Chains A and B, each alone.
Chain A
Amino acid sequence: MMFHKFANPTRFLRLSIALTPWFAVLTVTMLGAGLYLGLFKAPPDYQQGESVRIMYVHVPAAWMAMFTYSMMAAMSAAALIWKHPVATLVAKSSAPIGACFTFLALVTGSLWGKPMWGTWWVWDARLTSVLVLFFLYLGYIALHNAFDDARRGGQAASILAIVGFVNVPIIKLSVDWWNTLHQPASVVRMDGPTIDASMLAPLLLMAGAYTFYYFWVLMVRVRGELIAQKVRVLQMKQAQGNQGDMS
């Protein structure tokens, strides 16, 4: 299985070093194109005017908030079931990135909601479930740091990530299940996007940019974690060596 090949940290390290520059280039290119089309070429909305441009930073952030969480939950499951050493680090490294995406989705949504709905915030299903997602990320990070034994902290956090995954489909379906101010899906729907191509193109470019940004930062963080593990082993050995000298 492809997946198991990358369980080997050395192999993963080599792969991530090779991929990182590509992720960086793709992020910057798609971001440039997306911002250009989104800010200059895409038309204002016939109802929302120019405020609709907030969509180009709000929707990708919201999508990535859910994508990153799904990744974190899947990797947590892999970590618990197969004791996959890289999966643990991928999950751990995803959490702060996902928290950033969720924070941005909430704040840009608020900045969009004020002029369009007349309020910064409503306690409806969509907004509340995304706020819960934000707290799940924070809880996951806190649990990781709450134990002296890093492995136990990782296990507790993994369980939270898996249980909390139930929130992801709730977010997606919240706009269909309950009455909400939030508009329903207009891109990811069974009968195809209902949004015009002139707006869909910059939106998808921005979504692509956010996706590659996630993988770029993820590679950097996982590499940092892998080296940090090595550093800890060396420090421990050195400490033992020093003790040996003294006795």
Chain B
Amino acid sequence: MVWDKFFDMGGYAAYVWPAFSLSAVVLLVMLVVSLKFLKSQQRLLKQLESSNPEQARETKT
């Protein structure tokens, strides 16, 4: 099988695939955490602005 040969990576599968998959996981987690942080702050801001529209207008520039 062509794919078996591909996944075997010339006998280095145990090193090549962890390197690629760990990179994918770390970068993906960083991205998701950052997006969640942004979303949570956006939600907080909206809540604060709707609960107190007058003050919100003052801080907006």
Give chain A's interface residues, CB within 8 Å of chain B: 10, 39-40, 44, 49-51, 53-54, 57-58, 61, 96-97, 100, 103-104, 107-108, 111-112, 114-115, 213, 216-217, 220-221, 223-224, 227-228, 230-231, 233-235, 237-238, 241
Note all chain A residues with C-beta closer than 8 A to B58. 237
Residues in B lying within 8 Å of A, measured CB to CB: 6, 9-12, 15-16, 18-20, 22-23, 26-27, 30-31, 34-35, 37-38, 41-42, 44-45, 48-49, 51-52, 55-56, 58-59, 61
The answer to whether B16 touches A53 (Cβ under 8 A) is yes
- From B10, B20, B22, B26, contact of A50 by CB (8 A): B10
A221 touching B34, Cβ below 8 Å:
yes
Kindly provide the distance from the CB of A68 to the nearest chain B CB, expressed in whole angstroms: 12
- The answer to whether B38 and A241 touch across the interface, beta carbons within 8 angstroms, is no
Task: Report whether A231 and B15 are in contact in the complex, using a CB–CB cutoff of 8 Å.
Answer: no
Contacts of A114 in B (CB 8 A): 15
Interchain CB contact under 8 A, A231 and B23: no
Q: Find out whether the CB atom of A234 lies under 8 angstroms from the CB atom of B38.
A: no
Indicate whether A238 sits within 8 Å of B55 (C-beta atoms), given known contacts A108-B22, A224-B34.
Answer: yes
Give the docked Cα–Cα distance between A220 and B33 (Å).
Answer: 10
Inter-subunit contact B41/A53 (CB<8 Å):
no
By the criterion CB–CB under 8 Å, are B26 and A241 in contact? no
B44: A residues at CB distance < 8 A:
227, 231
**Is B31 a contact of A54 with CB atoms below 8 Å?**
no
Cross-chain contact of A234 among B12, B23, B48 (Cβ < 8 A): B48
Residues of A contacting B11 with CB < 8 Å?
Answer: 49-50
B45 touches A100 (CB 8 A): no
Shortest distance from the beta carbon of B32 to any chain A beta carbon, whole Å: 10
- A224 and B37 within 8 A (CB): yes
Task: Look across to chain B and name the residue whose beta carbon is closest to the beta carbon of A235.
Answer: B48
> When chains A and B are docked, how far (Å) is the Cα of A40 from the Cα of B6?
8
A230 to B58, CA, bound (A): 11
Contact A100/B30 with A224-B38, A227-B38 known, Cβ cut-off 8 Å: yes
| Cβ B30 vs Cβ A96 within 8 A | yes
Are A54 and B15 in touch, CB under 8 angstroms? yes
Residue of B37, B55, B61 touching A10 (CB-CB under 8 A): B61
Q: A100-B27, A231-B41 are in contact. List 9 more A-B contacts (CB 8 A).
A: A40-B6, A50-B9, A107-B19, A111-B19, A114-B15, A224-B38, A227-B44, A233-B59, A237-B59
